[in-house]
């Protein structure tokens, strides 16, 4: 049987760990572990901060194994799932890339990208095409679709708007697919909401554990962003032989 010294200083008692479990017998290390746990929990809830600090000051080291169990149980009960969910907030939906093309020329790159935006941009209806030749910038809004499901698993299509932006220099270009907006109510197509805000609403929906609509629409929107980016890069890479646009020499 494992022995602990000094007496009653084991990290866990045999009451809730099997006999083969590893124990921590150093009181200083034990105190450090509990202090770290209390600090982590205190960052989550202000009420827990004051409680855990008081506990650590009132109890001697040799009683810390009892305090540990209280911290674990109390902390778990005080931390609702929404608190943990906030720590895992998904990243915004977007795709961006910078493509170095030494000596390619800003005018050539801009002209190629403009041709794609005007004639090859398939995410229609498109709107807001804006170009500034002197700055070699292009901006256009495209339309796509994602699907959420209702409580019966039936698809509910939603219109999504996104912005494609481009800028060229003499030595390359950068582009971005971002600023996703969603039409939450098909009956009001002119009313849009930021995608991240709508996704947050889906996460708070009482049926989200069943529908997983927050993750569902995020995956589809990310796929749409990647698809638009691949379409653009493919077109830039297909520049006629005299240009070599988008092709990097090995």
CA 183 to chain centre: 21
Phi/psi-derived region of residue 239, left when phi > 0, alpha when psi is between -120 and 50, beta in every other case: beta
pTM surpassing 0.85? no
pLDDT in tens, the chain (250 residues): 445 544 444 444 444 444 444 444 555 555 556 556 655 554 544 444 444 454 444 445 455 555 555 555 455 545 555 544 444 678 899 999 999 999 999 999 999 999 999 999 999 999 999 999 999 999 999 999 999 999 999 999 999 999 999 999 999 999 999 999 999 998 999 999 999 999 999 999 999 999 999 999 999 999 999 999 999 999 999 865 444 554 443 3
Q: How far apart are CA 101 and CA 245, in angstroms?
A: 8
Question: What ranges do the domains of the chain cover?
Answer: 1-88, 95-237
Q: How many residues does the chain have?
A: 250
Residue pair 182/158 in contact (Cβ under 8 Å)? The answer is yes
175 beta partners: 97, 166
SS (H, E, C) 167-197: EEECCEEEEEEEEEEECCCCCCCCCCEEHHH
The fold for domain 95-237 equals Alpha-D-Glucose-1,6-Bisphosphate; Chain A, domain 4 (3.30.530)
């Amino acid at each position: 049987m494992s022995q602990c010294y000094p007496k009653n200083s084991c990290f866990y008692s045999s009451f809730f760990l099997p006999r083969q479990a590893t124990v921590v017998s150093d009181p200083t290390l034990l105190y450090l572990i509990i202090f770290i746990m209390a600090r982590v929990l205190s960052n989550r809830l202000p009420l827990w901060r004051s409680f855990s600090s008081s506990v650590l000051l009132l109890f001697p080291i040799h009683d810390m194994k009892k305090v540990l169990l209280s911290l674990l149980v109390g902390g778990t009960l005080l931390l609702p799932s929404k608190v943990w969910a906030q720590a895992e907030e998904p990243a915004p939906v977007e795709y961006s890339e910078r493509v170095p093309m030494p000596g390619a020329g800003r005018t050539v790159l801009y002209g190629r990208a403009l041709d794609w935006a005007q004639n090859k941009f398939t995410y229609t209806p498109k709107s807001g095409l804006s170009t500034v030749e002197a700055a070699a910038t292009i901006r256009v809004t495209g339309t796509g679709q994602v699907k959420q499901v209702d409580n019966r698993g039936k698809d509910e299509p939603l219109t999504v708007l996104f912005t494609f932006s481009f800028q060229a220099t003499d030595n390359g270009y950068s582009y971005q697919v971002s600023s996703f907006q969603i039409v939450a109510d098909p009956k009001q197509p002119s009313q849009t909401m930021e995608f991240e805000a709508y996704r947050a609403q889906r996460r708070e929906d009482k049926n989200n554990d069943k529908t997983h609509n927050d993750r569902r629409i995020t995956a589809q929107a990310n796929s749409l962003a990647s698809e638009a980016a691949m379409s653009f890069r493919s077109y830039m890479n297909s520049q006629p032989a005299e240009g070599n646009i988008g092709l990097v020499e090995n």
